[in-house]
Amino acid sequence: MTARLERLRDWLRECTPLSLVILAAGGAALAIGILGTLVFLALEGLTPSTELVETLTSQSEGAILYTAIALGVAAIGSGFLLYKRMPTKAAREASVSGAALGLQAVLFALLLLWFRSGEKFDIFVRLFFSFDVLGPFVDQFLNAAKNTIVMAFLAQALGMVLGLFLAMLVLSNRVAVRAPARAYINFMRGTPLLVQLLIGYLGIVTGLGFREVSVFATATVILGLNAGAYTAEIFRAGIQSLERGQMEASRSLGMSYLQAMRYVVVPQAVRRVIPPLTNEFVILIKDTSLVAFLGLSFVQRELLAWGRDAYAETFNSTPFLVATVGYLLVTLPLIRAVSALERKLRSGLVGIGA
């Protein structure tokens, strides 16, 4: 932390006063435009939605936005005009960054000005920002978020086990072993997940009459079976990316093919496939939303089903916005955690994949 502060101080020392003014102007434009608006909204109250409309269309908000535009334009103009004449690299960075921040502020302010000039701006705000309608649904939101997470993790766990197994089969030299695994993978990748969910649901729960099997469990298994096909391809690519010598060295030490896979090849492949695997998991988390199209029971609803039911009861779209935020709350930390894990795995093992 202190090292980072020190680097910042060095950087600032290299900047010229003019470049810092440009940076400050751009930063201030963005802060005034976005933070200013948010603070203003918070002070005036977020509910009911008519209050929001009143705040956003007020003259004070107009003043905030025009100030942001003025500062932003100044930063853009001076930043882009002057950056080539800056004497140091740091000064050049500061002026370009100032211009970039200014541009973002101007875009934000123009967008908000355009929105609030709309004839039905009040209806738009009521449909998407009526936070007061959420009251009775808050508990269920947490439950739905939990369901989404549980469903995604269970399906991913199943998918990874299945995927590793399928990858082994697909890499076999024998057609009789390889072909069925390949067919399964291609079928799962070649048909829409929604169709798989519907067929599985209609086929197993309704068709075969296993009514005691919950939709949630059925859907989780189908998601896992689908994820298995994608993780199989990821594992296969990871295994094939290893040098042939790893397998040969293992075999020359007397390991069987499976031992070589287990102790040498797969552990290295897993490290290499963490990024594509995360990507696949994030997609899976989002795909749990398709389960909303099956009739989930009340307590088993995931985020989108919750949003849709809340929408149906309130005739208001705010729940969809909240569901969107719910997905981000799950996916963003995951993306961060895994990239941290990846860095850690790499730091000890510079030779691998780096």
Partner 1 sequence: MNQDGSLVRLENIHKCFGDNLVLKGIDLAVKPEQVVVVIGPSGSGKSTLLRTINLLEEPTQGRVWFNGTNLTDIRTDLNKMRTQIGLVFQSFNLFPHKTAMGNITVALRKVLKLSDGEARERALEQLEHVGLREKADAYPSQLSGGQQQRVAIARALAMRPKLMLFDEVTSALDPELVKEVLDTMKRLADEGMTMVVVTHEMGFAREVGTRLLFMDDGKVLEDGQPKSIFSNPTDERTKEFLSHVL
In the complex, the residues that contact partner 1 under the rule CB under 8 A are 243, 245-246, 248-256, 259, 263-264, 267-268, 271, 348-352
Nearest distance from C-beta of residue 177 to partner 1, angstroms: 19
DSSP codes, 291-324: GGGS---GGG--HHHHHHHHHHHHT-SHHHHHHH
Nearest distance from C-beta of residue 345 to partner 1, angstroms: 9
Nearest distance from C-beta of residue 343 to partner 1, angstroms: 16
Cβ-proximal residues to 78 (8 Å cutoff; 6+ apart), any chain: 21, 22, 25, 95, 98, 99
Cβ-based nearer residue to partner 1, 273 or 322: 273
Q: Are 305 and 292 in contact (CB under 8 A)?
A: yes
Cβ-based nearer residue to partner 1, 84 or 244: 244
Nearest distance from C-beta of residue 274 to partner 1, angstroms: 13
Q: Are 288 and 326 in contact (CB under 8 A)?
A: no
Alpha carbon dihedral 304, 326, 43, 134, in 10-degree steps, equals 30
Residues found in the chain: 354
Q: Are 98 and 291 in contact (CB under 8 A)?
A: no
From residue 135, alpha-carbon distances to 141, 212, 276, 306 in Å are: 10, 33, 39, 13
* Strand (E) or helix (H) holding 129: none
Residue 224's nearest CA partner among 169, 307, 298, 164 is 164
> How many angstroms separate the CA atoms of 114 and 35, rounded?
19
Cβ-based nearer residue to partner 1, 227 or 265: 265
Cβ-based nearer residue to partner 1, 7 or 262: 262
Cβ-based nearer residue to partner 1, 273 or 303: 273
DSSP codes, 144-160: HHHHHHHHHHHHHHHHH
Cβ-based nearer residue to partner 1, 17 or 254: 254
From residue 275, alpha-carbon distances to 167, 234, 337 in Å are: 17, 10, 11
Nearest distance from C-beta of residue 269 to partner 1, angstroms: 10
> How many angstroms separate the CA atoms of 66 and 68, rounded?
5
Alpha carbon dihedral 215, 216, 222, 223, in 10-degree steps, equals 150
Nearest distance from C-beta of residue 172 to partner 1, angstroms: 17
Residue 224's nearest CA partner among 291, 167, 157, 165 is 157
Cβ-based nearer residue to partner 1, 119 or 243: 243
Q: Are 302 and 289 in contact (CB under 8 A)?
A: yes
Nearest distance from C-beta of residue 255 to partner 1, angstroms: 6
Nearest distance from C-beta of residue 247 to partner 1, angstroms: 9
Nearest distance from C-beta of residue 259 to partner 1, angstroms: 6
Nearest distance from C-beta of residue 181 to partner 1, angstroms: 25
Token pair belonging to 51: 């209050």
Cβ-based nearer residue to partner 1, 45 or 267: 267
